[in-house]
Structure 1
Amino acid sequence: MNPTYQPRRAWLTAVLLFFFLVVNAMDKMVVGLLAAPMMAELELTPAQFGLVGSSFFWLFAVSGVLGGFLANRTPASRLLILMALAWSLCQIPIALSSSLAVLIVSRVLLGFMEGPAAPVAIHACYKWFPNNRRNLPVAVLTQGAGIGIVLAGLLIPAVAAHWGWRANFYLLAVLGVLWALAWLALGREGTLDQPPAAHGATGTSAPQRLPYRVLLSDPTVLGCFALRLAAYWGLALCLTWIPAYLQSGLGFDHAVSGKLFALIVGTNLPLTIAIAWCSERLLARGVSSRLARGRVSAGMLLLAGGFFLLLLWPDTTPATRVALLVLACVCAPAIYSLGPAMLAEVVPAGQRGAVLAIDASVSSVAGVLAPLVTGVLVQNTPGARGFELGLALCGALMVVAALAGLCVVNPERSRQRLAAQLPADVQAGQPAVAAG
C-alpha cells in the first residue's frame, strides 16, 4: 500500500466530485426539461428550439480534448473551480433574456465549459487513489451524471411549476457556486498522481505506435464508433426532446412528465452496471470479446432501435409508449462501457487515449444533429407524430449501426491484424498490442 494514501480524504474527494457531476448533468438537462414553457413564452418554433438544444454540443468535443491536455499541465483543483463558476455564469443570461441569440450563445459557452468535466473529475480522483484502488471510487463518482439526470427530472419541473421556468437557471447558478465553495473548503489536489507510463504499461519498453490512418480504418474501431454514435443520438434526444414529447405529444402535465422522465433515465443505471458485470463474467469464463462485448453491445442497441421504431405502431396507448421509451433508453447505453473496453483491446497502449477521445468526438456529432433534425420533424408534423418520427429515425439509425457492429466488430481479429503491422523489432519482443 502506498504510505501516503489517505482513505478518508480520498473518499471525501470522490464524494465532492460525485456532486460535481450531479450539477454538470443538471446543467445539461435543464433546457430539455423546460422545452414546453420556454417555447411558449419565447415564441420559439420547434426548429429554433432544436437549434438551442444542439448548440450545447457545438464545441463540447473540442473543449473535452483541450481540457484533457490542459489537465496535464494545470492543477485539477483549479480547473474544477473555474468550470463550476463558469457554469454558474452561463446560466444567468438565459434567466434574464428572451433573445434566441442569447440562448444559443449561452448554451454554446456552457457546452464548451462542460466538455472537460468528466475527464478532469476522473483525473482529479486518480490523484488521491493508488492504481489498485481506483475502480470503485471512479465508478461511484461517474454515477453522479445519472443521479443528476434523475434529480433534474424531479426538481426542475417542480421549480418551474411554482416559480416559473427562469427560476431553474438561477437555482443552477447557485448550485455551481455552492459546489465551488465546498471544494475550496474541503477539496485538495491529490498527491498520488503517477507518471503516464504507469497507466498504460504493456510490460515492454519497445515503442508500439501505428499510423492513425491504420487505426481509424480498422473494422472494429469503426464499428465501435458507429455503435456509440447511434447510442448518443438517442441520448441527445433524451436530453432535448423526450420531456417535450411526454408533455406536448402524450399529454402528461409538467410534474408527471418530470417523474416519468426520471423513471426513464433512472431505470437504465442499474441495468447498465449489470450488463457490464455480465460481460466481464462471460470473459472470465473464456467467452471471446467478440461475443461478450461486441455482440452484447450491438445486440442491446438493436433492441433499443426496435423499441423506438415501435413508437410508430398505430393505436398505441400513452402508457405503452412510455414503456417503449423506458425499454429503448435502458438498452442503448451498454456501448458506453463496452465500447471503450474493445477499443482498448485493439489499439496500442500509447495511442489509446487519442482513439478514445476521437470516439467521444465522433459521437458528439449526434448531439449537434439529433435535436435539430427532430425539431424540424416536430415543426412540420402535427401532434405526437412529429416526435415519434424523430424517435423512429433514431431507432432506424440504431438498427443499421447495430447490424454493422454485429458484422464487423471483432476485437481478437483486429488485435492480430494491427499487431502484424507493427515494426518487426517490436513484434520480435512481447505481443505488441495489449489486450487490456
Structure 2
Amino acid sequence: MTPPGRARWAIGSLLAGSILVNFFDRTVFSVASVPLAEEFGLNLSELGVVLAAFSWSYCLVQLPCGLLVDRLGVKWLNRIAIPLWAAASLLTAVASGLGLVIMARVLLGLAEGPSMVGASKATAAWFPTVERGRATALFDGATKFANVLAFPVLAWVISAWGWRAGFLFTTVLSLLFAVAWWWGYRDPAGHLRPPDAEHACGRGGTTGEWRGVLGSRRIWAISLGFACYGYTINVVLTWMPVYFQREFGVALGSAGLYAMVPWLVATVAELVCGGWLVDRMVRGGRDAVAGRRPVLLGGLALGATIGCVRWAASPLDAVFWMSLSLGGLAVAAPVAWSLPGLLAPPGAVGAVGGLMNFANSAATTGGVLLTGWLAEITRSFDAPFVFAVVVLAVGGLLYWPALRTDRAPDAVTTETEKAFS
C-alpha cells in the first residue's frame, strides 16, 4: 500500500488536476466570448447575461453541495459530476441557438458545484495543519495555472478552427480526466490514515452542525469576506480577454498571450506565499488561524491595485497592474480556502465551504453582470475595476476582526478545537 505521505500528495495532485480541468471548462467561454457574441449579435450587457448563466446555477447549488460533500464524500460526487462537465461543453459546441448555449452554461454550473467545496473538504481530511497551506495552494493554485495554459491554448484553437472547436477541446479534456479520477481518487478510508487526527473530518453534516455554522458570526464574516475576493478575481477572469480586445484592439491570439502573464504570476505567488510561507509560519509556532491574517489582508490590499488598470496606456501597462493585483489575490486565496478546515466542526467542513462558495458565487454572478453593464454605459472598463477596489476594502474590513488573535472563539471554533485536541 502507498505510504501515507506519498498517498496524500498524490491525492493533492489529483485534486489540483480536477480544478485545472474544471477551470479550462469555465475559461473557454471567456476566450470564445467575442466571436460567439458576433455570431449571435450580442452587446456587452447581453454578453454579461450569458456569461453569468454559469454563475447563477453554480451559486444556487453551493449550499446543497456542501451538505452532499459531507454526506456522500468527494469521490462519488465527482465521479458523477466530471462526465457532466464534458456533456456541457459538448452541448455548447453543437448549439444552434443562444438558448441552448445558456442551457449548457447552466448545466456546467450545476455539475461543477461540488468542485472547490470538495477539494477543500478532501484537503482537510487528508492533510495535517502544518501541510494545509501548501495542499490548499496546490488545488487553488490550479485555478490560476489553468488560465496560464487555457488562455493561449484556447485562443490558438479558437483562432484556428472557430469558437466551437474550443468547446470540443474541453469536452475531450473532461472525458480523459473522468477516467483518471475514477481510477485514481480514493477517500481517506481507502488508504493508510494520514498521520494525525485531521482524518476525523470525515463524513457527517448533521442538522445541528448546519445550525451551528449558520449561527456563527465568524463563519458569516469569512464567507462574506471571501465573496469580496471572489467578486474581484472573477471579474478579471471573465472579462480579461474582452478587455484587451476592446480597450487596445488586440487580436484574439494576442489577447490570450497578454492574459496568460498575470495568471502565471498569480500561480507562483500562491504556491510560494499562500502555501509554503504560511506552512512555515505555522510550523514555526504561529497560530494556525491568526497567523494567516496578515497574509490574507496583505493579499487583498495588493489585489486592490486592479484599480490602477484605468491608467494603463498600453497592453503591457495593463499586464503589469493585473499581474500585481492577481498576485495579491492569489496569495489570499489558499488562506481563505483553508479556513473551513480550521474553523468548522468535524463533519461540517463541506457546510462551511459551501456557505463560503455560495457567497462567493453570488458575488461573482452580480459582478459579471455589473461589469458588463458598467462597461457598456461608460464605454470603458475603468468603472468596473475601480468598483472592485471598493469591494476588496469591504472584504478586508470583514476579515480583520474574524481572524484577530484576541478574538473570543464562537461555538463553531470551540467545537473544532475540542475535536482536534
TM-score band, normalised by shorter chain? 0.7 to 0.9
1:125-160, CA deviations, whole angstroms, 9 ceiling, x for partnerless residues?
899x78799867776455443332221111111011
For 2:390, the equivalent position in structure 1 comes to 396
What is the rounded CA distance, in whole Å, between the counterparts of 2:342 and 2:124 in structure 1? 22
One-letter code of the match for 1:397? Answer: V
- The Cα shift of 1:336 comes to 2.2
**1:415 deviation in Å?**
3.9
Q: 332, 335, 355: which is aligned to 2:332?
A: 335
Q: CA deviation at 1:328?
A: 0.9
Are the counterparts in 2 of residues 303 and 331 from structure 1 also a CA contact under 8 Å?
yes
Looking at structure 2, the residues matched to 103 and 293 of structure 1 have their Cα atoms a distance apart, in angstroms, of 41
Instruction: For residue 44 of structure 1, give the secondary structure of its aligned residue in structure 2.
Output: coil
Cα distance, 1:41–1:87 mapped onto 2, change above 3 Å: same
Q: Residue 87 of structure 1 is aligned with which of 70, 85, 88?
A: 85
State the Cα distance separating 1:340 from its structure 2 match: 4.3
Aligned to 1:370: 367
Give the secondary-structure state (helix, strand or coil) at the position aligned to 2:250: coil
Query: What residue is the counterpart of 1:199 in the other structure?
Result: 198
Question: Where do 1:18-417 residues align within 5 Å?
Answer: 18-71=16-69, 78-120=76-118, 140=138, 143-183=141-181, 186-187=183-184, 189=186, 191-192=190-191, 198-199=197-198, 212=211, 216=215, 218=217, 220-276=218-274, 277-285=276-284, 292-305=291-304, 307-313=305-311, 316-342=313-339, 345=342, 348-349=345-346, 351-382=348-379, 385=380, 387-406=381-400, 408-416=401-409
Query: Any gaps of 5 or more consecutive residues in structure 1?
Result: 203-208
Q: How has the CA–CA distance of structure 1 residues 403 and 45 changed in structure 2, closer, same or farther, with 3 Å as cutoff?
A: same
Return the TM-score normalized by structure 2. 0.82
Q: Report the more deviating stretch, 138-147 or 90-99.
A: 138-147
Measured in 2, the distance between the counterparts of 1:322 and 1:118 equals: 27
More helix by share: 2
Give the length in aligned residue pairs: 411
Whether contact under 8 Å (2:137, 2:334) holds in the other structure is no
Unaligned runs of 5+ in 2: 202-207
Change (3 A) 1:348 1:124: closer
Cα deviation code 1:348-367 (max 9, x no counterpart): 55655423321221111112
Structure whose CA Rg is larger: 1
Aligned to 2:204: none
Question: Conserved in 2, the CA contact under 8 Å of 1:298 and 1:403?
Answer: no
CA-based RMSD of the aligned residues comes to 3.9
Q: Distance in 2 between matches of 1:378 and 1:230?
A: 20
Identity %: 23
The TM-score with structure 1 as length reference comes to 0.79
2:394 partner amino acid = V
What's the offset of the Cα at 1:368? 0.9
Structure 1 distance, partners of 2:118, 2:67, is: 10
**1:201–1:113 CA distance, 2 compared to 1 (3 A):** closer
Deviation string, structure 1 residues 240-279 (Cα, Å, up to 9, x no partner): 1111001111222211111111111111112122223334
